[in-house]
Structure 1
Amino acid sequence: MEDSYSVLARHYDSLMADTDYAGYADFYERIIEKYAPSQPKRLIDLGCGTGSVSVLLAEKGFEVTGVDLSCEMLSAALKKASDKHIKMLLVEQDMAKLDCGENYGAAICSFDGINYLTKREELSQCFERTADSLCEGGVFVFDVNSKYKYENIIADNTFIYETEDLFLSWQNYYVKEKGICDFYLTFFEKHGEKWRRTDEYQRQRMYSDRTLRNALEKAGFEICERFSDISCAPVTDESERIFYVCRKK
């Protein structure tokens, strides 16, 4: 079983086709203008994936550095940037070992990328290295899957995605006591008259608000706001995703 994104990267954009990437880019731009208006328009996109948000932010005038652990995802991001004649630095790197220089005005991490840091020390290292990369007063915006989502939406459910050339079974196993969720992805890809099976594995960890706050404070961040979506709706007990807007002290 593969533990990378080698196959998922090929189908990621199709699976995320309903995502409002433009809305995300507008949200980040508004937050940065509100909390870091005088900071450099240099931005790190942690876990940038195939670069959809990165490219849109680059089109808005940001100097973007995209960071991802998957070279397959970065290859897709490079193609998107090249197709639009956008210059963007892409780095294959673990978020917990971030090392992309200093003097960035902002950092973002979208689509529950933080939850893939499954050890608390990795979370702390990621926050600390992100803080080191930012100017004083720089902003860090990220989102996480909520406890409600893990227990009621993801849970132990199985999701199916099917097209003419692809069948994907996405099985979830959530251990509430440990806050650990394992994902088992089984791909059947059509190649001519045959179908090829590939299995991939992912793991996420649920982080409580207290754990995130403690790690952010130790890294030198203050939390400015929390939202449940990119429309800046307030967080409730049934919010599936929680956005944190933080600023380096």
Structure 2
Amino acid sequence: MDGDYVLKKALENAEEYNDPILYDQENESFQDDIPFLLKWADKAEGPIVDLACGTGRATIPLAEAGFEMIGLDINGNMLAEAKRKAAERSVLVQWEEQDCTDFVLPNKSRMIFTVGNSFQHFLTNEDQDRLLNSVCKHLESGGIFIFGTRFPSPGELLQPSTEEYWRSYVDRDTQQKVDVYTISEYDPIEQLQHYKTIRRMEERETSSRITLRYTYPKEMERLLTKHGFEIVHVFQDWQETLLSKDAYQMVYVCEKVG
């Protein structure tokens, strides 16, 4: 598949990331995955790669803990904010603006991860194959790949196609209350959830769209095995709760075999 086409499709699904300041306001408070990543980072040597690193929500804390970090993302706006935050906190990170499905780094790593449910941005079988091929190429034998993705539970997939309230917060710049609503539509054939997010303030309203891929556990097992990974753990949260039918997330720890 042509690299320019892949890049174009990835950027078409990037409305939610056009404003990195807004993204951080809505997501930076989530820190549940950091202790989990730190535990596994302690077992790794050399550079650790954060794929789809965004504004460095996970990259920067690991760098502050003393780990050699590479943050890689396709979105230049998100990376610019990551660089600004890292400089503000006097943290050294190697930032790379590259496509996660076709990235090139000079050295292999003992640990690669992608969090924030970024795995769901790879919408086709071909996208997932290219991502895992790239990860496998850049992992040492016995290296660890960690990622999280939403569990395809009925409650997750069968969300209402009408507006549903999600959350509220106060915008740091305007000090206005922002009420956030979502509308979703699931395509069971393509396994894609189409989301529209609506943000309402006192005097205006904005909206953005994103599409996410859902992958079932047995499907994931075969996919990872095909690409040379052994599944070490599957949890339903970052607190290491074993996966159950009531899960809303799947956290995978995989080892490169051979």
TM-score, normalised via structure 1 length: 0.85
The answer for the alignment partner of 1:159 in structure 2 is: 165
Q: CA–CA distance in 1 between the matches of 2:23 and 2:199?
A: 12
Deviations 1:32-58 (A, max 9, x none): 44xxx3x42311111112112100111
* Counterpart selection for 2:241 from 224, 230, 233: 233
Q: CA–CA distance in 2 between the matches of 1:17 and 1:102?
A: 30
Structure 1: unaligned runs, 5 residues or longer? none
Helix, strand or coil for the counterpart of 2:198? Answer: strand
Q: CA–CA distance in 2 between the matches of 1:103 and 1:87?
A: 19
Greater alpha carbon shift after TM alignment, 155-164 vs 74-83: 155-164
Structure 2: unaligned runs, 5 residues or longer? 1-11, 171-175
1:205 aligns with 2:217: no
Deviation of the 1:167 alpha carbon: 4.5
Helix, strand or coil for the counterpart of 2:101? Answer: helix
The answer for the alignment partner of 1:112 in structure 2 is: 117
Query: Letter of the aligned partner of 2:156 in structure 1?
Result: I
Q: Is residue 52–residue 74 contact of structure 2 (8 Å, CA) maintained in 1?
A: yes
Greater alpha carbon shift after TM alignment, 41-50 vs 177-186: 177-186
Structure 1 residues 100 and 200 mapped into 2: Cα distance closer, same or farther (>3 Å)?
farther
The answer for the alignment partner of 2:16 in structure 1 is: 5
TM-score, normalised via structure 2 length: 0.82
Q: Is residue 228–residue 241 contact of structure 1 (8 Å, CA) maintained in 2?
A: yes
Q: CA–CA distance in 1 between the matches of 2:135 and 2:180?
A: 34
The answer for the alignment partner of 1:216 in structure 2 is: 224
The answer for the alignment partner of 1:14 in structure 2 is: 25
Deviation of the 1:60 alpha carbon: 1.7
Q: CA–CA distance in 2 between the matches of 1:66 and 1:2?
A: 20
Q: Is residue 128–residue 220 contact of structure 1 (8 Å, CA) maintained in 2?
A: no
Greater alpha carbon shift after TM alignment, 137-146 vs 173-182: 173-182
* Counterpart selection for 1:170 from 161, 166, 182: 182
The answer for the alignment partner of 1:123 in structure 2 is: 128
The answer for the alignment partner of 1:92 in structure 2 is: 97
Q: Is residue 237–residue 251 contact of structure 2 (8 Å, CA) maintained in 1?
A: yes
1:247 aligns with 2:255: yes
1:28 aligns with 2:45: no
Deviations 1:36-88 (A, max 9, x none): x3x42311111112112100111122111112222222122112111111111
1:74 aligns with 2:71: no
When the two chains are superposed, the root-mean-square deviation of aligned CA atoms in Å is: 2.3
Deviation of the 1:97 alpha carbon: 1.7
Greater alpha carbon shift after TM alignment, 155-164 vs 63-72: 155-164
Q: Is residue 184–residue 201 contact of structure 1 (8 Å, CA) maintained in 2?
A: yes
Identity in percent = 19
* Counterpart selection for 2:193 from 166, 171, 181: 181
Structure 1 residues 116 and 71 mapped into 2: Cα distance closer, same or farther (>3 Å)?
same
Structure 1 residues 71 and 167 mapped into 2: Cα distance closer, same or farther (>3 Å)?
farther
The answer for the alignment partner of 1:60 in structure 2 is: 65
Deviation of the 1:100 alpha carbon: 2.5
